[in-house]
């Protein structure tokens, strides 16, 4: 495994149980019937009933299982053994074990995943920022996508990830264009799902520009389409943001809109 991914895998081993116990992920609500999916991805992906869906970087399975609840035959891939073990347990508790499977693997070297080719390959929220190798990621997508299917991506807009999340006003803190080296966090910071938890492990994160993401997919033989940018986010990216009734976070009235989410599809 890539050296950076090995470091990140230890980080995810530490935080996954914290996430599963957090109000942020709300496992209890999910087991009571709440969907972990937002309106944006549900509308973009459309009806998944009877479709084969591959979820890359599935974490402990809430989104994968939400797609399964909507009728997909879903397979989740994640490199964290803690996450895939929890996801299988959650699938059993939700009565979805017959419709969802979880595979431990690195999404940049997953090869052909059993159960494919897939009508939909899906990934969302907190994805490429963890990857050192976008070419391998794109090859995994191309290897698993059926000719008539599509890949759907939804995540923080790369332009929005330049900013210091703690600053009152947007303040550029990170490079937009990857300079080669990842951002290294030595530990001690608060976990995003449980701010009271201080993470001990080190992590490595990567800034990928929009053109770097699209270029990797193009090099793997995919064509990008339905590109969408949204002025709202899926979490509090700036202190002035509040959560609206639709579940998305918006900046205060009068603040200049920023591109906060990026969504797009790609096909072979």
Report the interface residues with ligand SAM, using CB under 6 A.
5, 8, 12, 57, 59, 62-63, 78-80, 83, 106-108, 124-127, 130-131
Query: In terms of CB distance, is 240 or 243 closer to ligand SAM?
Result: 243
Distance in Å, CB of 133 to ligand SAM, minimum: 8
Nearest CA to 192 out of 12, 5, 35 is that of 12
Other beta carbons less than 10 A from residue 44's beta carbon: 18
Distance in Å, CB of 253 to ligand SAM, minimum: 29
Phi–psi pair at 184, nearest 5 degrees: -105, 120
Cα–Cα dist 70/67, whole Å: 5
State the pairing for strand pair 73-78/52-56: parallel
Q: Is the dihedral of CA 157, 121, 41, 235 positive or negative?
A: negative
B/e letters for 192-206, b = 16+ CB within 10 Å, e = fewer, are: bbbeebebebebbbb
Distance in Å, CB of 255 to ligand SAM, minimum: 26
Cα–Cα dist 209/158, whole Å: 6
Distance in Å, CB of 128 to ligand SAM, minimum: 9
Distance in Å, CB of 196 to ligand SAM, minimum: 18
């Amino acid at each position: 495994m890539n050296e950076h991914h090995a470091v990140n895998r230890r980080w995810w081993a530490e935080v996954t149980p914290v996430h599963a116990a957090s109000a942020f992920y709300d496992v209890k609500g999910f087991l009571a019937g709440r969907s972990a999916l937002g309106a944006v991805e549900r509308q973009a992906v459309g009806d998944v009933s009877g479709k084969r869906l591959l979820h890359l970087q599935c974490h402990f399975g809430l989104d994968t299982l939400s797609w399964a609840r909507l009728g997909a035959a879903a397979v989740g891939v994640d490199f964290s053994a803690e996450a895939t073990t929890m996801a299988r347990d959650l699938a059993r508790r939700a009565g979805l074990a017959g419709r969802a499977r979880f595979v431990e693997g690195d999404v940049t070297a997953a090869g052909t995943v059993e159960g494919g080719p897939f009508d939909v390959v899906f990934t969302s929220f907190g994805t490429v920022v963890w990857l050192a190798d976008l070419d391998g990621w794109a090859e995994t997508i191309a290897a698993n996508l059926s000719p008539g299917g599509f890949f759907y991506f939804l995540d923080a807009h790369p332009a929005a990830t330049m900013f210091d999340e703690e600053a009152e006003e947007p303040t550029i803190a990170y490079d937009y264009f990857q300079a080669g080296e990842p951002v290294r966090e030595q530990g001690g910071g608060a976990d995003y799902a449980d701010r009271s938890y201080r993470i001990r492990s080190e992590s490595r994160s990567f800034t990928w520009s929009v053109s770097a993401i699209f270029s990797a997919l193009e090099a793997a033989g995919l064509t990008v389409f339905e590109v969408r940018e949204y002025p709202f986010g899926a979490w509090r990216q700036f202190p002035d943001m509040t959560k609206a009734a639709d579940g998305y976070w918006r900046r205060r009235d009068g603040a200049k809109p920023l591109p906060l989410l990026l969504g797009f599809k790609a096909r072979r």
